[in-house]
């Protein structure tokens, strides 16, 4: 899910920005510090939206940079448990598929791709034995977030499933929506008289 978040931080403004307007130099410094930042509490910072307030600056001896207590807004992507996301399959391995869901990728274990026995081929395709469904690189899919871990900040882990109604490859979801033809009723079997 994408959120607009208000933050307050002491922003270090490098002396190379001292010739610029204060708001511009603080904004550039915030972007350097926060753009692309991955944080367990925030999620992934996508962009700095704007600066709301800049306090009085101070210079710390031996540093030469200005420090300003600043209030600013950022856009973040924070995957939530049970959230349904749309994405595109980026890669397929024998253990599952990687789906791009914005700024980061999630992983769908092979057992969570479809309700079927799934096999992996050398052409990077996951195929269902009975359903004959196939998942390929580039397919658009809907998946549900079932696990989120920011234990390794440089590589957050997002676990996904497509084994629920309304999830999976776009074509599969459309197939589920189509009404199934009604089965013709068989006439009752007449019992022979003895």
Mean pLDDT computed over 21-38 = 92
Residues of the chain with pLDDT > 90, as a percent, come to 53
Mean pLDDT computed over 58-81 = 91
- The residue that leads in pLDDT, 153 or 97, is 97
Residue spans of alpha helices (H) in the chain: 22-34, 170-177
What is the spatial distance between Cα 76 and Cα 138, in angstroms, rounded to a whole number? 25
pLDDT over 90 at 106, yes or no: yes
What is the spatial distance between Cα 77 and Cα 19, in angstroms, rounded to a whole number? 33
Q: What are the angstrom distances between the C-alpha of 90 and each of 45, 112, 115, 166?
A: 21, 16, 21, 21
Q: What are the angstrom distances between the C-alpha of 19 and each of 25, 26, 70, 72, 88?
A: 8, 12, 19, 21, 44
φ and ψ of 162, to 5 deg: -125, 20
Tell me which residue of 136, 146, 132 sits closest to 175, measured CA to CA. Answer: 132
Q: What are the angstrom distances between the C-alpha of 156 and each of 75, 106, 148, 153?
A: 18, 9, 8, 6
Domains by residue range for the chain, with CATH: 2-77 (3.30.1490.120), 84-176 (2.40.50.140)
| pLDDT averaged over every residue in the chain | 89
Residues 143-192: pLDDT tens digits?
Answer: 999 999 988 888 889 999 999 888 988 888 888 877 776 666 666 666 76
Would you state the torsion angle of the CA atoms of residues 95, 81, 173, 121, taken in this order, to the nearest 10 degrees?
-10
SS3 helix, strand, coil % of the chain, rounded to 5?
15, 45, 40
Q: Tell me how crowded residue 19 is: count the other CB atoms within 10 A of its CB.
A: 7
């Amino acid at each position: 899910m994408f959120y607009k978040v208000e933050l307050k931080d002491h922003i270090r403004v490098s002396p190379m920005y001292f010739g610029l307007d204060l708001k511009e130099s603080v904004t550039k410094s915030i972007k350097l510090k926060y753009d692309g930042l991955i944080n367990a509490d925030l999620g992934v910072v996508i962009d700095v939206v704007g600066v709301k307030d800049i306090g009085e600056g101070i210079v710390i001896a031996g540093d030469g940079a200005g420090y300003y207590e600043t209030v600013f807004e950022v856009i973040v992507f924070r995957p939530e448990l049970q959230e349904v996301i749309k994405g595109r399959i980026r890669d397929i391995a024998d253990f599952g598929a990687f789906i791009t869901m914005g700024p980061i990728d999630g992983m769908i274990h092979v057992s969570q791709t479809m309700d079927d026995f799934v096999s992996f081929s050398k052409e990077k395709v996951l195929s269902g034995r009975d359903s004959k469904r196939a998942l390929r690189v580039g397919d658009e899919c809907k998946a549900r977030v079932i696990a989120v871990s920011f234990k390794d900040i440089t590589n957050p882990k997002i676990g996904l499933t497509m084994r629920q109604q309304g999830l999976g490859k776009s074509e599969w979801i459309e197939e589920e929506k189509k009404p199934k033809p009604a089965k013709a009723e068989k006439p009752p079997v007449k019992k022979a008289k003895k």
